[in-house]
Structure 1
């Protein structure tokens, strides 16, 4: 089974082509570029480059997997809307996965793990995983200082892992292989995914105006 993976929930724009086998996943191509402001401009060119690297076309994909966050509103929407549009145009299923789970999938198991990424506003997104790599808490958003006080006994991964003062054992952003690994069981089973649901974890900055501004005097 051939799968295209996409994630724009972190500063990295990530995409790649992955083969799902009976007992694992094999990355055929990977394209990653770090740019916090150009997710929309970079994503589709990287998708097409990843397909070319893998010797495949978009129509050859059996499914799509996309990181559903948590992540900042604008960046996260770019990846999810793109994956949804491709799935709709080609009639393929689109599986949303937690971006933090995908990062955890690329970490060695055997120790309790915290995956921590940048939520901006002096906060972090985080989730906790047990020794077998299963998520046991989160995802949440909070100030890093309060999370650091509870981080004893954990190793860390993700773009903000260093703020915890714990050993860093994993990547800053998800890989195509990690994204697909999270969805691999559902892909093998042929499960039809539900609607994509972004993990924003907090309300947007923009607010609806409460009244009209007066523009004339008197």
Structure 2
């Protein structure tokens, strides 16, 4: 199966082509802004190195969040447009799942619990907890103190992964962890593994939001007078 995987949800812009589990071309550039300007060029370069034939792709994978609102929409729009043009399925992948799968041993088959963490700002982290590969509760946006309590409950052998790991470690330096992998974005091979194993019908390319947007609709239309104070 030949895959194109795209990630623009977090701190990198990724475009990579895989044949089953073999990487044919990988483009990975750390960045917090500018995904829209770079994604098309990275996909072009990766596809050219992999042989250049878009019609040889079997499916396309893209991260759906949680993450940067603007960034994840860039990747989703690109992947969905390409999938429609090629008539290929587009698979949505949770950034938290991809981070957990990015650990050296995948989702810790050795039994070590995993906490995938993304910095959500405003004193929160997006969280996913796994024990022996089994998900423990829903993905959530948690305050740092609640996230730290949940991590401590998993034991000292817990593995932290994601840019939210650094936030938790800085806020709670007395907590003990087996390993801390504060990577800014999922590994391309982890994305490919999840996309290859997913059923497209069960993993649609829809944005995953775990918190209400920071922006709110205006309280009045342009030119409309302000309401008097009560």
TM-based fold match above 0.5: yes
Contact kept? 1:93, 1:193, Cα under 8 Å: no
Q: Which runs of 5+ in 2 are unaligned?
A: 170-176
**Superposition misfits of 4+ residues, deviation over 3 angstroms:** 169-172, 191-195
Q: CA deviation at 1:203?
A: 1.9
Q: TM-score, normalised by structure 1?
A: 0.86
Q: Please point out which of 182, 186, 203 is paired with 2:194.
A: 182
Task: Give deviations 1:131-179, integer Å, cap 9, x for gaps.
Answer: 2x33333321122232112212221111121333332147431122111
**Equivalent-residue separation in structure 1 for 2:13 and 2:121 (angstroms):** 17
**2:77 counterpart of 1:81:** yes
**Equivalent-residue separation in structure 2 for 1:138 and 1:115 (angstroms):** 12
Q: Please point out which of 27, 30, 49 is paired with 1:53.
A: 49
Q: CA deviation at 1:125?
A: 1.1
**2:36 counterpart of 1:40:** yes
Match of residue 4 from structure 1:
4
Contact kept? 2:3, 2:19, Cα under 8 Å: yes
**Equivalent-residue separation in structure 2 for 1:33 and 1:48 (angstroms):** 14
Q: Is the deviation greater in 193-202 or in 36-45?
A: 193-202
Task: Give deviations 1:48-74, integer Å, cap 9, x for gaps.
Answer: 111122223323211101111111211
**Equivalent-residue separation in structure 2 for 1:124 and 1:144 (angstroms):** 6
Match of residue 112 from structure 1:
113
CA RMSD of aligned residues (A): 2.1
Q: Please point out which of 142, 153, 161 is paired with 2:165.
A: 161
**2:202 counterpart of 1:201:** no
Q: Is the deviation greater in 43-52 or in 194-203?
A: 194-203
Task: Give deviations 1:4-47, integer Å, cap 9, x for gaps.
Answer: 00111111111200122xxxx22222111122120111111111
**2:146 counterpart of 1:146:** yes
Contact kept? 2:30, 2:184, Cα under 8 Å: no
**Equivalent-residue separation in structure 2 for 1:135 and 1:171 (angstroms):** 21
**Equivalent-residue separation in structure 1 for 2:81 and 2:136 (angstroms):** 32
Q: TM-score, normalised by structure 2?
A: 0.82
**Equivalent-residue separation in structure 1 for 2:84 and 2:216 (angstroms):** 31
Task: Give deviations 1:119-139, integer Å, cap 9, x for gaps.
Answer: 2233211101122x3333332
SS at match of 2:163: coil
Pick closer, same or farther for the CA change 1:84–1:127 going to 2, 3 Å.
same
